[in-house]
Chain A
């Protein structure tokens, strides 16, 4: 049983410490606040391998959605590979509800860049590609500006800060596809092809971009690396939820986390707190409570892929282990989107199915057809031609597509499945009521029915 989060208010922001300063995105302001000291220290005092051990011992888990231990991922790189090794930074943030990467890149790009340089030093990458979604033009400008400042200040390019380490960072813009946030989808897109995720093995650490060893890390993860270098492992581990002593495989949920809060709350925004605060705490103590004096009905715990909490489940800790205990996929991007009591779950699920059908890359059969079929059914249900049997079919799709059962190549379909499973299983009476009410003559039909005429959905 994980221990409850420590007192969260007040939590002195670390990742968001700079964002309210004027010109926070400039090198001048960043260094005035102590920026790049961590990097300089590590370059002088630690070998790359030693720094990998530092990050490993911090139990930092990736902030992009999967929560894989970062130091461990770095250690998968082959030891004696002639190289080159590549770092890909995943700034394709597209998970509905998520915007913390945007804030970091717009308002504190140097914190991110310092983390990238540190990560590349550790993994001996000589080139880093920062894959940034095309919908973030301000981030792109700010990052490019920051990178230019770094080159001018000998913090990028050859012999960084007088060390032996040299690094180039290049920005690479995407073109509005969610699947480019999947690590091998990103790699394929970077290589100039359609972003169809690769089968694994081989894993990117062995054969990644341009068939060379590659590490893909998230923006917030890079910022955490910066803070670990600056403040130390002990500081990092003093925050969050320790590993379960009864489970040797549990890496815990350490460190600060940027929680995104949006939807039907009074104060949507990005809030930094130790990992492990509960959904209710986030909504009440940071978010100003539910808007318009209403009650909450449900909340997405970590980006729409993770599924739904019912209001009764709002006391679940938002750490890597919590949401799974109430049938959600996981913490994901820790982006909480709140639904008040007036929201129709049919509308919610329709929105979710439409998103995943639009974003499915189309490579593998269960996801390509399953997301499309789910959307067809939700369209039909919304239009008043639903059947109770559709709910069973939707659950069957939800239970069978994904990398967890092994039926698909990547996790997009797990993300498509979880909202279906949670919405219908946790709110079934509402779905049944809607179907019966809107289709009183047809809701018990079990034979296949005609699809609605194909409307231009995309």
Chain B
């Protein structure tokens, strides 16, 4: 196996693998500090923070010959027998020099800078910088410059890594950001009248290694060390970007993309990134209510599930509408419950919101018009129960021609998803209509039971994106008082006790539905490709 050596530690390379010194060192557990390098952008090697000593080891004799000058690890390929040294005095002096250089004109804004706590300049200063200020001091705070609707630039904090400029040129292809002037007078700017306004603009804030680029949505709202991060999936569209949901005490403060080479690489779109405010909207439903004539009666969760179950069994005919915002596990459980009560129960796919057309950027990243995270997953669950994909339209037709039916409609949509006409159709055909949703809609007006549902941030489970990739994520925050997430409700409907654990349900789904077979094995943080062929499981006793 080809190897490279980092500080004496051997790192194996896969055949034909092309990585650089920084990545090789990561594998050896060694951090090579850097600002300008990013695996998703071209290599410029301009920050000079990743300077290391390099050489080669003779595979036969074991002799190591080192190159006399420092080289940037980001532009040095880790070819077999390359030797990297990161812990010599030469290297530490070089790092201290770069840190000192960057701090010469960098305003020490830490107490008022959002980036504190996740700032490369801070972190590297503590680890690799000098403890004495030697340069001429010029105390000042940074000027602010508007880049667009989503991003603010604190001009003087910039370290000229140019990641943001390269992003707009190479990834979004929109070229709004550029560098002005020359030498130490260089700054980042936008051309007057051409602000940063592409739909991936928020990514430049992720890329900025210091507090120069600020996200207007997040600015001054929360200190990063108070937040906890949870793996998540963006539920904005069927691309299903892997994300990180960052919260403190059950309030979501921001979403960030999570690196996933199979789906979104390092990016997410603005719609997804800023699409969490509905989680804390004061319009969210929080009361369990039953309509009695013209009045609404408040109920308790502890009573209502059993009450609904009794009524559904009384009516006998059941239909359930599975929202494409439900997880695979939730969709399955609701379908399972429906069939338990009524072996002929209709299990259909709820309305799938579509807005505009797919937008693809220069590097291939696509924001999809299908604005739901799990149509594929829910479709397959529906197919499992019905033999084919059945939709709400199919249901409305069959409801028109059948006896009174108890209908459970699941929601979890971010905004208006059903109009008054369709709502009327469902309500008039339903003997008992349960709507479990996040916000009021024409349908909740007509419901028999109006139940408050959780949002994506409160939900654990799995989603299948446009490309048949399944991702499983935990919940990030607890729902507000009065709200109960679908999974736990369905578990109670089915008469099971205990805490809702999506994984257990997914295992059952993987056993019962061939499409999901690849999810029988524990699903890693990058998800699993359901198109992976899976061997027949050995039948267990």
Q: Do chains A and B touch in the complex (CB under 8 A)?
A: yes
Whole-angstrom CA separation of A377 from B137 in the bound complex: 11
Q: Flag if B183 contacts A359 (CB, 8 Å).
A: yes
Asked if A405 and B69 sit within 8 Å, CB to CB, the answer is: yes
Question: CB of B399 within 8 A of chain A?
Answer: no
Interface residue SS majority, chain B:
loop
> Is A166 located at the chain interface by the 8 A CB criterion?
no
Contacts of B97 in A (CB 8 A): 366, 400, 407
Tell me the residues in window 151-186 of chain B with beta carbons closer than 8 Å to chain A beta carbons: 159-160, 179, 181-186
Is B395 located at the chain interface by the 8 A CB criterion? no
| B47 contacts A by Cβ under 8 Å | yes
Chain B residues lying within 8 Å of A361, measured Cβ to Cβ, are: 182-183
B46, B134, B137, B183 pick with most chain A CB within 10 angstroms = B183
Residue contact B134 to A368, C-beta cutoff 8 Å: no
What is the bound-complex CA distance between A361 and B185, given in angstroms? 10
Distance (whole angstroms) from the CB of A232 to the closest CB of chain B:
39
* Interface locus among A107-115, A420-428, A433-441, A449-457: A449-457
Q: Would you call A269 an interface residue if the criterion is a C-beta within 8 Å of the partner chain's C-beta atoms?
A: no
Question: Which one, A199, A357, A369, contacts B101 given CB within 8 A?
Answer: A369
In this complex, the member of B69, B72, B93, B101 whose beta carbon has the largest number of chain A beta carbons within 10 angstroms is: B101
Which of B71, B160, B184 is close to A371, meaning CB atoms less than 8 Å apart? B184
Count A-B pairs with CB separation below 8 Å: 109
CB of A177 closer than 8 Å to a CB of B: yes
* A386, chain B: closest CB distance, angstroms: 11
Task: Given A199-B75, A371-B183, A406-B70, verify A364-B46 contact (CB < 8 Å).
Answer: yes
Contacts of A358 in B (CB 8 A): 183
Point out the residues of chain A lying under 8 angstroms from B138, CB to CB. 450-451, 454
B14 in contact (CB, < 8 A) = no
Interface: A362 (CB within 8 A): yes
Contact string against B for A residues 375-414, beta-carbon threshold 8 Å, 1 for contact and 0 otherwise: 0110010000000000001000000100111111100000
The answer to whether B135 and A365 have CB atoms under 8 Å apart is no
Asked if B182 contacts A362 (CB within 8 A), the reply is yes
* Contact residue among B47, B94, B183 (Cβ-Cβ distance under 8 Å from A372): B183
Within 8 A of A (CB), among B339-393: none
Contact A365-B48, Cβ < 8 Å, known A377-B136, A449-B137, A451-B137:
yes
Least CB distance, B212 to chain A, in whole angstroms: 15
CB-defined contacts of B70 to chain A, threshold 8 Å: 405-407
A interface footprint on B94-135 (CB within 8 Å = 1, 0 otherwise):
100110011011000000000000000000000000001111
Digitize A6-25: 1 where CB-to-B-CB distance is under 8 Å, 0 elsewhere: 00000000000000000000
Q: Which of these, A199, A363, A364, contacts B43 with CB under 8 Å?
A: A199
Q: Is the CB of B46 within 8 A of A409?
A: yes
Residue of A nearest to B178 (CB): A194
Q: How far is the CA of A409 from the CA of B71 in the complex (A)?
A: 10
Does A1 lie at the interface of the complex (its beta carbon under 8 Å from any beta carbon of B)?
no
B104 touches which of A363, A372, A380 (Cβ 8 Å):
A372
Q: Are A360 and B182 in contact (CB under 8 A)?
A: yes
The answer to whether B48 and A408 touch across the interface, beta carbons within 8 angstroms, is: yes
Most buried by A among B51, B134, B138: B134
User: Residues of A contacting B136 with CB < 8 Å?
Assistant: 373, 376-377, 380, 448-452
- The answer to whether B133 touches A372 (Cβ under 8 A) is no
| Nearest-neighbor residue (CB-CB) of A368 within chain B | B184
Q: Which single residue of chain B is at the shortest CB-CB distance from A450?
A: B137
Q: State the CA gap A222–B93 with chains docked (Å).
A: 42
Residue pair A364, B182 in contact (C-beta under 8 Å): no
The answer to whether B101 touches A362, judged by C-beta atoms less than 8 angstroms apart, is no
Name the residue in A199, A357, A407 with the highest tally of chain B Cβ atoms < 10 Å from its Cβ.
A407
Which residues from chain B contact A408 at a C-beta distance below 8 Å? Answer: 48
Interface centre among B46, B94, B133, B137 (most CB of A within 10 A): B46
Which B residues are CB-close (under 8 A) to A405?
Answer: 69-70
A369→B47 CA distance, assembly (Å): 11
Contact status B49-A365, CB under 8 Å: yes
Given contacts A365-B46, A393-B134, A451-B137, contact A373 B179 (CB under 8 A): no
Chain A residues in the interface with B (C-beta under 8 A): 177, 194, 196, 199, 357-366, 368-373, 376-377, 380, 393, 400, 403-409, 448-452, 454, 458
- Assuming A373-B136, A449-B136, A450-B137, what are 12 further A-B pairs, CB within 8 angstroms? A199-B44, A360-B183, A362-B186, A363-B46, A364-B45, A365-B159, A369-B104, A376-B135, A406-B51, A406-B71, A409-B45, A448-B133
Give chain B's interface residues, CB within 8 Å of chain A: 43-49, 51, 69-72, 75, 93-94, 97-98, 101-102, 104-105, 132-138, 159-160, 179, 181-186
A to B CB contacts below 8 Å, 23 in the list: A177-B182, A199-B45, A361-B183, A362-B160, A362-B184, A363-B46, A363-B160, A371-B183, A372-B104, A373-B101, A377-B136, A393-B134, A403-B69, A404-B69, A406-B71, A407-B70, A407-B94, A408-B48, A448-B132, A448-B137, A450-B138, A451-B138, A452-B136
Nearest 6 CB-CB pairings of A with B: A406-B69, A451-B136, A369-B101, A406-B70, A372-B184, A360-B183
